[in-house]
Amino acid sequence: MTPTLRPMLCSEGSTKLLESGNYLFEPKLDGIRALIEKSGTSINIINRRGKIVTYKYPEIVRNINLHAETVVLDGEIVILDGGRPNFYRIEERELISDPLRIEILSELHPATYYVFDILYVDGEPLLSKPLEERKKLLNTIVQPHPRIDLCLYTEDGKTLFNSIKSFNLEGVIAKLKGSPYEPGKRSRYWLKIKNYKTIDTIICGYTYGKGVRSQYFGALVLGLYKGNKLMYIGKVGTGWTELQLKHLVELLKPLQINTPHFDIPYEVIWVRPCLVAVIQYIEWTEDLRLRNPSFKRLRFDKSPEDCRFNGAAITAKR
């Protein structure tokens, strides 16, 4: 089979690209990034961190029909609810390992794998092939099905972005025409154009809840790495449903530690820095704290060590 690969990653882009004729544009899907490797009858689903998660999505494996003996695909696992990605459903799937529960949820809320790239086919590496050639080849390899389909793309970035905004989705990805695939690299060939600002942060602790929040928590304490050290970037106390609060508490309680990560002037229950949260925000303050942060979701396909302070500092100065 092919060498172990990691997905190509995006850099930050701007809305100025939307009317450029040099890019293809795709919606930024709110799901779990994954590679699919097929070798004969064997199928593996591998998340961004290199972990095999095939067992979590049996409905995808059962319905894959690929016209190749061996192939590696790149795409996003998404669960749709009323035509919109529902990350809570994906989060639910990522948190369970019981086979019966997985099977039940695969029927109740089935996932779809949206394919947007192809890396290898029948032993031939495609990494250096132009983007358009890889897209064209996908049409001959992937047999569309409700559980596996091709991600839409267009040259009309402005229209796609306006559609994304009307649904309050996260944004679009601009991919340079003629570009190669760079495994594991945060490349300038692929650029995220966001509808709103988000950042991947590390949950370092939480505060005690009051009133209706007393059984849960008040706010999550957030950090980013700078070198090998965690740096405090503020706390977030909004953005979740009651059900998400319950799930977060269940995840956080077993992670409690006694050693504080930061010296901050309020009482905190500290946790091991192993959970990544996507936070929406307005801007950075002068002392590099998030202004008006709101919790969006957890990320299970990204390592906390990849949540770095340097990128945040650069963003703050722009």
DSSP string over 221-260: EEEEEETTEEEEEEEE--S--HHHHHHHHHHHGGGB-SS-
318 vs 307: CA distance, rounded Å: 19
Radius of gyration of the chain (CA): 20
Q: What is the pTM of this model?
A: 0.78
Under DSSP, the state recorded for 208 is: P
Residue 246 a catalytic site member: no
pLDDT at 311: 54
Catalytic residue among 16, 28, 165, 296: 28
Question: Residue 230 in contact with residue 262, Cβ under 8 Å?
Answer: yes
Decide if 7 contacts 76 (C-beta within 8 A).
no
The predicted-structure confidence for 249-280, as pLDDT tens digits, reads as follows 999 999 999 999 999 989 999 999 999 999 99
Low-confidence ranges of the chain (pLDDT < 50): 1-3, 312-318
Closest by CA to 189, choosing from 176, 207, 208, 205, is 176
Residue 32 pLDDT: 93
Amino acid, res. 69:
E
Q: How far apart are CA 100 and CA 55, in angstroms?
A: 11
Q: Are 203 and 273 in contact (CB under 8 A)?
A: yes
What three-state secondary structure class fits 17? helix
* Other Cβ atoms closer than 10 A to 100: 8
